[in-house]
Structure 1
Amino acid sequence: MPLKTVYIGLGSNMGDRLGHLRKAVCLLERMNALVVTQSSGIYENRAIGIEDGNDFCNAVIEGFTDLSPWDLLDCCQAVEQEMGRIKTDVWTNRIIDLDILWYEDFSSTEATLTVPHPHILKRDFVLKPLCSINPNLRIKIDSFDNQAKHFLKALDTSELSQIESSLWPLSRINQIVAISENYVIGKDGVLPWSIDEDWKIFLRKTRNGILIMGRLSFQEMVKEPDWDNARTYIVLSHQAPKIDHPLVNHASSLKDALLIAEASQKPIWICGGESIYRDSLNLSGAIHLTRINDTYEGDTFFPKFEESTFECHSKIDSNYQDLKYTFEIWNQKK
């Protein structure tokens, strides 16, 4: 069964607010609650309904989940409990607040779980970050049925201020790759498989990032109609560049590519091929890996990384046309 798209709102107005938001995302991943694919910017805003309340930091994350809405709610509440939130009948300052805002192909008006979130249309600190991820998201509540960007136009967002910090990905330098059981990543310059869900997640994760890849990988990337939407590229090759585009940079060494990428202040996604993965492995904080549960013939391979160096942070199963695979995150041990 394909994974379902979800949007979760996060808020904190106690202590290290940004640190709390990041820890909540980390715990959701560790609980295998969802494959996080995007995060909004972080917005600071006044506390609502709390007398003398501290200002909140709010954000929204997008993810794909194999959990039911109720099981996802249990995970959100488990994160809140682990982080020390104490539930009360009145609105108070809180170390963390997690709300399921929207869940694909699901709606509920039950008191314990109302989806879409009943206040989503009235909260600028929810709609603005949500629209930064998916302004065209269709939201239907009672007689209201329109895209998120339509509802945002009706709100005054002048009191929101975006802070210069990012929520996700949790590591600055990330490898992203799909591999078979025998570590194949390509044959004759292309993937030996075609999995729509995996490609969709790759495109969502790398949006607003800077992608480092070899010439052959880039030649495949430009076949994607959306290749130049909200992405910047560094093509690593000793050959003369073959494309002149404002979003495409060129480098002749991994060191030069990383220098360009670091200056951009964007999340860095290393996308292959084989030698680039191998040379950047120990420089990467995380590997975002899709493991195809089958063997394939190929001529390019992903390096076999040591579990003494990396540890599995998250693992979520999925399948497509009888082909099973898992979305995994491996973090480099500190």
Structure 2
Amino acid sequence: MKQAVLLGIGCNVQPAIQIPKILNALVTRFEAVWLSSLVMTKPVGVENAADFCNGVLYFYSDLSEEALNVWCKQLELKIGRTPQDCKSKQIADLDLLWCGDSQQVLNPSEIIKESYYLQPAQEVLALVGQLAPEGDIKTTANYIIEVLQVLGPNGGNVGNKATVL
């Protein structure tokens, strides 16, 4: 049985190159994938680091939560992350934010701890119709610097708004 997944992605080393690698791998493995806008944010809790590109994806997976975590860590390594990478240098960072019933509506502020994932999660949940009414938070998102567009799996630009890949 497939479960719904919310996955946070991030990168602060050549995000215009690395993020498309992440997206291509996810679309290849999970087929239907919904993507929030990709936002450039200031690092949180890390000094002397480049700005991060963050986004949230929603998709269905036949993997257990544990197996999905393993798959994500393997993808990070495949893209170029090394165990020696410090928090200030993230070539690929995949964070499993939530797994569960595909019919469940969600309030991002109740399930996500990282502030930089809240607005993207709200966008993608609204796109797939799974955003709880109380989850429609009006964020000032003062941590967002800009929106980044990258080349998507179908060859067109993605990242400027929530979309289906």
Provide the rounded CA distance (Å) in 1 between the counterparts of 2:151 and 2:135: 21
Asked if 2 retains the 8 angstrom alpha-carbon contact of 1:39 and 1:167, the reply is no
Instruction: Write the letter of the residue equivalent to 1:148.
Output: G
Deviation, 1:120, is: 5.4
**Change over 3 Å in CA distance of 1:118–1:97 after alignment to 2:** farther
Structure 2 match to 1:25:
23
In the alignment, which residue of structure 1 is the partner of 2:72? 76
Q: Which has the higher contact order (CA 8 A, sep 6+)?
A: 2
Q: Distance in 2 between matches of 1:118 and 1:85?
A: 29
**Which structure shows the higher helix fraction?**
2
2:32 to 32, 36, 41: 36
Partner SS state of residue 134, structure 1: helix
Q: How does 1:205-224 map to 2 (within 5 A)?
A: none
1:134 matched to 2:125? The reply is yes
* Aligned-residue CA RMSD (Å): 3.2
Rounded to whole Å, the distance in 2 between the matches of 1:134 and 1:119 is: 13
Note the alpha carbon deviations across 1:180-199, whole angstroms, 9 max, x for none.
xxxxxxxxxxxxxxxxxxxx
Offset at residue 92 of structure 1 (A): 2.8
The structure number with the bigger radius of gyration is: 1
Partner Cα separation in structure 1 for residue 142 and residue 83 of structure 2: 30
Note if contact 2:41-2:143 (Cα within 8 Å) is conserved in structure 1.
yes
1:122/1:68 CA distance change after superposition, 3 Å: closer
| Matching residue of 1:148 | 135
**Identity rate, percent:** 26
Residue 161 (1) aligns with residue 145 (2): yes
Q: Whose strand fraction is larger, Structure 1's or Structure 2's?
A: 1
- Given the two structures, how large is their TM-score scaled by the length of structure 2? 0.76
For residues 39-118 of structure 1, the aligned pairs below 5 Å read: 39-87=35-83, 91-105=87-101
Return the alpha-carbon distance in structure 2 between the equivalents of residues 94 and 119 of structure 1.
26
SS in 2 for 1:171: coil
Unaligned runs of 5+ in 1: 107-116, 139-145, 173-206, 210-266, 268-334
Among candidates 125, 144, 159, match of residue 116 of structure 2:
125
Query: CA separation of 1:64/1:95 partners in 2, compared to 1, >3 Å: closer, same or farther?
Result: same
Tell me the SS of whatever aligns to 2:46: coil
Q: Deviations over 1:211-243 (max 9, x none)?
A: xxxxxxxxxxxxxxxxxxxxxxxxxxxxxxxxx
1:89-126 deviation line (CA, Å, top 9, x unaligned): 963311010011111149xxxxxxxxxx9995443320
Structure 2 unaligned residues grouped into runs of 5+: 103-107, 157-161
1:10 corresponds to which residue?
A: 9
The aligned residue for residue 105 of structure 2 is none
How many equivalent pairs are there? Answer: 153
- Per-residue deviation, 1:12: 0.3
Q: Give the structure-1-normalised TM-score.
A: 0.40
| Residues 161-217 of structure 1: per-residue CA shift (max 9 Å, x gap) | 342515644333xxxxxxxxxxxxxxxxxxxxxxxxxxxxxxxxxx857xxxxxxxx
Pair 147,90 (structure 1): closer, same or farther in 2 beyond 3 Å: farther
